[in-house]
Structure 1
Amino acid sequence: MTTREGVLETVQPRRSTPSAVLPLAATAIIVVIVAAGSAYFALSGVQSLYGSYGLATALVVTLGSVAAWAPVIPAIRALARARRRSSLMRQDRIVEARHTAALGRESALTSMGYSAAVFLLACLVGFAVTNDGAIARTFLRGSFIAETWGDIAKAFWVNVQVSIGAETLVLVLGLAIAIMRMLPGRAGRPLRAIAILYTDTFRAIPGIIVLYLVGFGLSLAKVPVFKDLPPIWLAIFALTLTYGAYVAEVYRAGLESIHPSQWAAARSLGLSYTMTLRKVIVPQAVRRVIPPLLNDFIGLQKDTALIGVMGVIDAFTQSRLAASSVFNLSPVAVVAIIFVLVTIPQSRFVDRMVEKDQARRRAGSD
């Protein structure tokens, strides 16, 4: 730079002082103590409620207490790095001090993050054992769960059958509706209108109403074929109508995402409109919409719990019967647990597929 006298002057780089770590580390220690204290009170409630289980309860309480104090390790590490940062500052080793301060802040924030998780879990456990364990006894009575688990698991097989049957039909119906909605020209206008009317109508009507109307209406109206179908097939048909509208929109988004040059190239090679769809467009579109399709199927699988309105004895209906006999909602909690065990792995699988698809597209764009 130039001074007022016109002489070039060398500018020394600005030596910023690294932020202090000690206040953040002390805050982390306080947060750890608060979280561990919350865990102590929650686990005390567990001990008083389930103390009759002896060794099992003692083991759970002990492990929980130890785990609640685990975040103190990065907090102590943050304190050590705060002292190290001060020592480096006294030695005028700014670069090393800055690096140590950054590590100290990261350790303190890590401690507070894990302490926050411990606090939230302690709140949930405390809520479950509050009022002398009234919530736990209402929803998680071990004896009722063990007694009804087998019958509910057998009834869940009905939900599995309905979901598989509906998913198979939905794949076909949704693709047909999506193609109808994309038919070109004046000749395809009536079919496009029908496809739009179908998707708008069945996305607007709640699924439970469709199940009720199909389950009882078709039988009351003596509709040929449908009046003689068992309730499980009527349930499959009703869910197919509902989710066919959603899946049709997923397919349409995939079909419209294909670049127009793909259509033009296929038609220039002499392929008909139908052949272009079957050989070129649909295969590419289906690969792109697999993750959202699986998300819709997860929703369909959960909605099979609604088929009880049609008189089908599924897992939820079975759990309600069991709950009414024991005057406790633990059997219904069994159904929730089963759906969680089935649905969460599928959700993680969908997330994994989405990540792979995004990585593939980034690699293709590079």
Structure 2
Amino acid sequence: MALVSTLLFAVVAYLVVTRSPGWPRVQTTFFSPQVALDSLPEIARGLLLNLRVLVVGGVLVLVVGLLVAIARTLRGPAFAPLRLLATGYVDLFRGMPLIIVLYLVGFGFPALGLQGVPTSPFVLGTAAIVLVYAAYVAEVFRAGIESVHPSQRAAARSLGLTHRQSMRIVVLPQALRTVTPALLNDFVALQKDVGLISVLGAIDAVRSAQILVGRSFNFTPYVVAGLLFVLLAVPTARIADAVSARARRRQQSGHLL
């Protein structure tokens, strides 16, 4: 029944779109096979820059996010300034749109004229993405750390472990296991947002498509770039679904680890 209803919906949608009066023009402008084949190599070369930003930015987001999360979970009045600083950072960059951060970092830092400040769109775009996504990931890590029962910390300290050893050996492994599905979902979102570095002039997949559209006045390169990003995100999305399902099964069966 599900298969029949799905096929019926697909047939109806296809007929509605292809029988519409403007379909021939839309097909020529957005879905030209020849334009897609001609633009694919150049867009694929631009996608390599997006992949570089994704890899470098993804690693830095995990590191910065974990450090900020640990800073927010520190106990004691002596760490109050560090906790306030970490909280302010999270509140600021979680509330600010990524596109605005890209403009501020990408155009603001070079405008300072400071010696040694990088001007590469790759470096500045990656920095802006890290600033925003690390704030989100920090909250994910913090939720995972605080989800570990206090008895786990007490047991670790009773065994003679220091606070740092307790975090590294006992708390963080359990927290990471808990938040892995959420981190994978953030990674899927990151895969899309690396395309925004094109606003800084970086010749990535989106910018390459924009240049090709300007040459031919055909929007098919945008469709090609979009499909490449979809192909990049789908495997990670399926992995995230599988990890989430596995975590749900383990939780329902009563396993903590």
TM-score range, shorter chain: over 0.9
2:141 corresponds in structure 1 to 251
2:124 corresponds in structure 1 to 234
CA shift at 1:161, angstroms?
A: 0.3
CA contact 1:128–1:136 (8 Å) conserved in 2:
no
CA shift at 1:359, angstroms?
A: 1.6
Mapping for residues 103-182 of structure 1, pairs under 5 Å: 110=1, 113-129=2-18, 130-131=20-21, 132-182=23-73
CA contact 2:29–2:218 (8 Å) conserved in 1:
yes
3-state SS of paired residue (2:254): helix
> How far, CA to CA, are the matches of 2:239 and 2:170 in structure 1?
27
CA shift at 1:358, angstroms?
A: 1.5
> How far, CA to CA, are the matches of 1:280 and 1:365 in structure 2?
16
CA contact 2:73–2:83 (8 Å) conserved in 1:
yes
> How far, CA to CA, are the matches of 1:293 and 1:223 in structure 2?
35
> How far, CA to CA, are the matches of 1:313 and 1:127 in structure 2?
37
CA contact 1:128–1:135 (8 Å) conserved in 2:
no
2:233 corresponds in structure 1 to 343
1:294 corresponds in structure 2 to 184
Q: 2:15 is matched by which residue type in structure 1?
A: G
> How far, CA to CA, are the matches of 1:337 and 1:365 in structure 2?
39
> Which ranges of structure 2 fall in alignment gaps of 5 or more residues?
none
CA shift at 1:339, angstroms?
A: 1.0
3-state SS of paired residue (1:228): coil
TM-score w.r.t. length of structure 2: 0.94
1:362 corresponds in structure 2 to 252
**What per-residue deviation string (whole Å, max 9, x for no partner) do you get for residues 216-255 of structure 1?**
1000012443x23422011111100000000000000110
Matched residue count? 254
In structure 2, the CA distance between the partners of 1:335 and 1:173, relative to structure 1 (3 Å rule), is same
CA shift at 1:363, angstroms?
A: 2.6
> How far, CA to CA, are the matches of 2:12 and 2:210 in structure 1?
29
> Which ranges of structure 1 fall in alignment gaps of 5 or more residues?
1-109
CA shift at 1:349, angstroms?
A: 0.8
> How far, CA to CA, are the matches of 2:193 and 2:15 in structure 1?
31
CA contact 2:195–2:205 (8 Å) conserved in 1:
yes
3-state SS of paired residue (2:77): coil
CA RMSD, Structure 1 to Structure 2 (Å): 1.5
1:334 corresponds in structure 2 to 224
Mapping for residues 1-366 of structure 1, pairs under 5 Å: 110=1, 113-129=2-18, 130-131=20-21, 132-225=23-116, 227-365=117-255
CA contact 2:191–2:232 (8 Å) conserved in 1:
no
> How far, CA to CA, are the matches of 1:256 and 1:321 in structure 2?
48
> How far, CA to CA, are the matches of 1:168 and 1:288 in structure 2?
19
Rg bigger for which structure? Answer: 1
In structure 2, the CA distance between the partners of 1:223 and 1:262, relative to structure 1 (3 Å rule), is farther
Q: 2:120 is matched by which residue type in structure 1?
A: P
- The alignment-based identity, stated in percent, is 40
3-state SS of paired residue (1:119): helix
